């Protein structure tokens, strides 16, 4: 870890002198090129992230359009001609990794929709494996990108917050059209009488956003949660990946205490056994993705893992003093 920070300091120093002569446009291009190179390396390490997957309807108007290893969601609804003259409008949540875009666009088409019908582009969090495809999807759709304030700098800068100079975590920079604050629920998109709501569940990233919606399927309402993440993963708690990270994780564990969705989904499909569940659905169970209780089991395990990681990182830091 020490070595990492020395390296970052060195890179920062090197970049600040070399970067002075560059315009903002050139540095965006550099970042994009570096991000695409990084994505190719990730594709070799995590081949399932770039492996296509047959798109399918999860429940109601909610569809899976991601790859085998990175989830991307499409929500559609008829809303008349209120938005951009479209007969129906669609929302896409997440962009997968850079390089996933054509798979996502093709998946949307296979379901009978069009990327151009997407009017809102949303994100669970600004890490390259979920935000890397947003820039191209935005160009292809002309959709408006809305994101939590805490993730705007990382989305627009194309970096992982706290690892600003580590090229392996770069994502193509993307402009955010609208942002919202951590303490505001964001009503985005009417679906029948309900709405898609963004709730910031920070920690894994500063603007990590979980998406909640009520979906009607066959006359029955189902509460759906597309959860951001609460894993520690690459994040450093000591020293802090970003200011306030420890409090943010705890806020998320507290906020989600009462959440008991009927359908629990996430941006890494393994979290909710996407492939196995899809097989069950194909075998004739239309409510295969109803998994009440799964989220509470998941989030409580993540809370214990977080507290363990914090103790371990604190101990490691005091050993070095």
Cβ proximity to Zn ion: between 27 and 153 the closer is 153
Among the listed residues 31, 32, 127, 278, the single contact to Zn ion using CB under 5 A:
127
Tell the smallest beta-carbon distance from residue 208 to Zn ion (Å).
8
| Site track 23-62 with Zn ion (rule: CB under 5 A), x = hit | ----------------------------------------
Contacts (CB under 5 A) with Zn ion, residues 144-173 = none
| Nearest to Zn ion of 61, 123 (CB atom) | 123
In the complex, least distance from residue 129 CB atom to Zn ion, rounded to whole angstroms: 6
Exposed e or buried b per residue across 248-265, where buried means at least 16 C-beta atoms within 10 angstroms of its C-beta: bbebbbeebeebebbbbb
3-class DSSP state of 14: helix
Q: Report the nearest approach of Zn ion to the CB of residue 77 (Å).
A: 28
Greatest pairwise CA separation for the chain in angstroms:
63
Q: Among residues 28, 72, 32, which one has the least CA distance to residue 50?
A: 72
206 touches Zn ion (CB under 5 A)? no
Nearest distance in Å: CB 68, Zn ion: 18
Q: What backbone phi and psi angles, to 5 degrees, belong to 306?
A: -65, -50
- The residue number whose beta carbon is nearest to Zn ion equals 127
Cα separation, 105 vs 140, whole angstroms: 9
Interacting span for Zn ion (CB under 5 A) from 50-58, 90-98, 121-129, 251-259: 121-129
The answer for residues whose C-beta is within 8 angstroms of residue 55's C-beta and 6 or more apart is: 63, 64, 65, 74, 107, 108, 110, 111
Residue ranges in contact with Zn ion by CB under 5 A? 127
């Amino acid at each position: 870890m020490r070595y990492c920070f020395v390296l970052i300091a060195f890179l920062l120093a090197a970049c600040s002198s070399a970067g002075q002569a560059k315009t903002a446009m050139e540095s965006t291009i550099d970042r994009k090129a570096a991000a695409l190179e990084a994505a190719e390396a990730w594709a070799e390490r995590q081949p399932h992230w770039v492996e296509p997957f047959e798109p399918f309807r999860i429940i109601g108007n909610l569809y899976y359009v991601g790859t085998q290893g990175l989830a991307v969601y499409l929500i559609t609804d008829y809303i008349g001609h209120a938005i951009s003259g479209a007969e129906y409008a669609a929302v896409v949540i997440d962009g997968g990794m850079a390089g996933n875009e054509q798979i996502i666009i093709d998946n949307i088409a296979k379901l009978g929709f069009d990327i151009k019908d997407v009017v809102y582009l949303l994100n669970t969090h600004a890490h390259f494996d979920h935000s890397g495809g947003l820039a191209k999807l935005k160009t292809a759709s002309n959709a408006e990108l809305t994101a939590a304030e805490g993730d705007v700098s990382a989305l627009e800068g194309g970096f992982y917050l706290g690892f600003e100079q580590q090229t392996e975590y770069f994502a193509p920079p993307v402009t955010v059209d609208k942002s919202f604050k951590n303490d505001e629920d964001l009503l985005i998109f009417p679906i029948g009488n309900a709405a898609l709501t963004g709730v910031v569940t920070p920690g894994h990233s500063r603007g990590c956003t979980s998406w909640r919606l009520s979906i009607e399927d066959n006359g029955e309402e189902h509460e759906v949660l597309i959860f951001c993440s609460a894993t520690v993963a690459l994040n450093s708690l000591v020293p802090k990946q970003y200011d306030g990270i420890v409090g943010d994780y705890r806020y998320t564990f507290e906020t989600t205490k009462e959440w008991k969705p009927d359908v629990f989904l996430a941006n890494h499909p393994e979290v909710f056994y996407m492939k196995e569940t899809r097989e069950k659905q194909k075998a004739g169970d239309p409510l295969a993705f109803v998994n009440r209780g799964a989220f509470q089991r998941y989030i409580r395990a993540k809370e214990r893992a977080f507290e363990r990681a914090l103790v371990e990182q604190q101990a490691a830091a005091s050993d070095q003093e």
